[in-house]
Amino acid sequence: MHTSSSTRVILGPGRDRSVLNRHPWVFSGAVARVEGDPQAGEIVPLQNAEGRVMGFGFYNPRSQIRLRLLAFGPDPIPVIGDFLDARLKAAVALRTGFFDAQSTAVRWVHGEGDGLPGLVVDRYGPILVVQFHTVGMARLRSLIVDSLRRLCDPVAIVERSPASKEEGLGAVSGVLWGTFSGRVEILEQGVRHWVDVIEGQKTGLFLDQRDNRQRVAQWVARGMTQGTARHGRGAQLLNCFSYTGGFSLSAALQGAITTSVDTSVAAQTLAQDNFALNGLHTADHRFETADAFDWLHQCRERYHFVVLDPPAFVKHRPSLDKGARAYKDINRLGLRLLEAGGLLLTCSCSAHVNWDLFQKILYAAAREAERSVQVLGRYSQPIDHPFSLYHPEGEYLKTFLLRVVE
């Protein structure tokens, strides 16, 4: 991990503005040259064209993001283990006090938002799940495991790192430390969930939807909207891209009759187990293993509430147009299925789709659906998914709560 004193990345003339603005990414186009042949993932100093040291970050020769800065300014990171310890401690301290015994699953580390670019740590009760999104963080695996063990004495630490072509990383999945197999049970605002941290999607549960699931529950409980005949008990809720049934579960516990649509058989099985775990009768609810686009197209029912929480349709900028059309299609179809007075909670987790674009997409969907629509709320990601003001790309989750007037 030691860098020889001659190793450095040097910016082109006038290319230091974004670093001065504390943006943590240095793109390849800004780099004039690299001295000393650093390894992928090594921590190296960054200099501007005048030779001033601007910061220190993870170097990756194959990524467009050539450097991910961990620290700004001229002072080197003396001991990387101590540095990681301090950042991890600060990240955990931020969450302390926001979560009680009713919520035992929390995102502990959210990458750049916690000053730890490329690292995600989710806590599911006694189990920690980590993701290394960059070569730099992956190289620090054992230091991070040591630090996490000191922080909370977990039963096991599981790795669920996704593959990244850009970074040159393959997917890594398995128990990193301790012993664990099967599912872990957690509580989310009092609702019980099985989480499959070994085989499930991402780290097992979409923790970023915690607040939105509670919002849906509250709307169902309070009787949705004045113009809707069905309140609370008996409200019909359609949840598309339902994964392990999170939104359906929160609504069903307030008396809604739910339909959950997802392509994943494993997710539908877990969704039904989650209903049973909370004392709900699965026979009173529908679980459809189907493509949500097809399902929405052929649906002839009407609903009081529709939830649309698809996977990111725009993963890379070139797919922006295609992804935007997909968002428009599901939202048009979703709006068409709503009773007058009904609600649509609709999300985009594509970082490339900003608030303005998402609102325009929803406008186009409402026009095509020929519905008159009010915006009741706009919500971003929860407190355990912070983003840095200097790194606006970190704000990825956009949610609108819409009401169909007629």
Q: Cβ 270 to ligand SAH, closest distance in Å?
A: 10
The answer to the question of residue 246 lying near ligand SAH (CB under 6 A) is yes
CB of 348 to ligand SAH, least distance (A): 12
Span 298-327, contacts to ligand SAH by CB under 6 A: 309-311
**400 beta partners:** 346, 378
Judged by CB under 6 A, the number of residues near ligand SAH is 20
Of 82, 100, 199, 291, the one binding ligand SAH by CB under 6 A: 291
Q: How far is the CB of 308 from ligand SAH (least distance, A)?
A: 9
User: Could you say which of 44, 119, 292, 345 contacts ligand SAH (CB under 6 A)?
Assistant: 292
Q: Does 206 engage in binding with ligand SAH (CB under 6 A)?
A: yes
CA distance 49 to 31: 10
Residue 106 to residue 123: CA distance in whole angstroms: 5
Query: 101: helix, coil or strand?
Result: coil
Q: How does strand 236-240 pair with strand 156-161?
A: unpaired
Closest CB to ligand SAH among residues 75, 291: 291
Evaluate whether 116 touches 86 at the Cβ level (below 8 Å).
Answer: no
- Residue 372's identity, in one-letter code, is S
Determine, following the binding rule CB under 6 A, whether residue 214 of this chain makes contact with ligand SAH: no
Instruction: By CB under 6 A, tell whether 219 contacts ligand SAH.
Output: no
CB of 107 to ligand SAH, least distance (A): 14
124 binds ligand SAH (CB under 6 A): no
Distance CA 379, CA 401 (A): 8
- With CB under 6 A as the contact rule, the residue among 7, 131, 203, 209 that binds ligand SAH is 209
Q: Is 243 in the site for ligand SAH (CB under 6 A)?
A: yes
Give the CB-side neighbour count of residue 306, counting CA atoms within 13 A: 28
The answer to whether 247 contacts ligand SAH (rule: CB under 6 A) is: yes
Q: Establish if 399 lies at the interface with ligand SAH (CB under 6 A).
A: no
Q: Which is nearer to ligand SAH, 241 or 327 (CB)?
A: 241
CA distance 41 to 135: 5
Show Cβ contacts of residue 165 under 8 Å, excluding neighbours closer than 6 positions: none
* Residue 349 falls in the annotated catalytic set: yes
The interface mask with ligand SAH, positions 251-280, x = CB under 6 A, is: ----------xxxx--x-------------
Check 240, 299, 347, 349 and give the catalytic one: 349
Query: Helices 80-95 & 141-152, crossing angle to 10 degrees?
Result: 40
Q: How many CA atoms lie less than 13 Å away from 116 in the CB half-sphere? A: 31
CA gap 140, 80 in Å, rounded: 9
72 has which bridge partners?
55
Q: Toward ligand SAH, which CB reaches closer, 201 or 278?
A: 201
Using a 10 angstrom Cβ sphere, with 0-12 exposed, 13-18 middle and 19 or more buried, the burial of residue 10 is middle
Residues 143-162 that bind ligand SAH (CB under 6 A): none
Residues for the chain: how many in total?
Answer: 406
Alpha-carbon distance of 279 to 124, in angstroms, equals 21
Neighbouring CB atoms inside 10 A of 204's CB total 26
**Taking the complex as a whole, how short is the minimal distance between the CB of residue 349 and ligand SAH, in angstroms?**
8
Residue with Cβ nearer ligand SAH (128 or 345): 345
Which residues in this chain contact ligand SAH in the complex, by CB under 6 A? 201, 206, 209, 241-244, 246-247, 261-264, 267, 291-293, 309-311
Give the residue numbers annotated as catalytic, written as ranges.
349
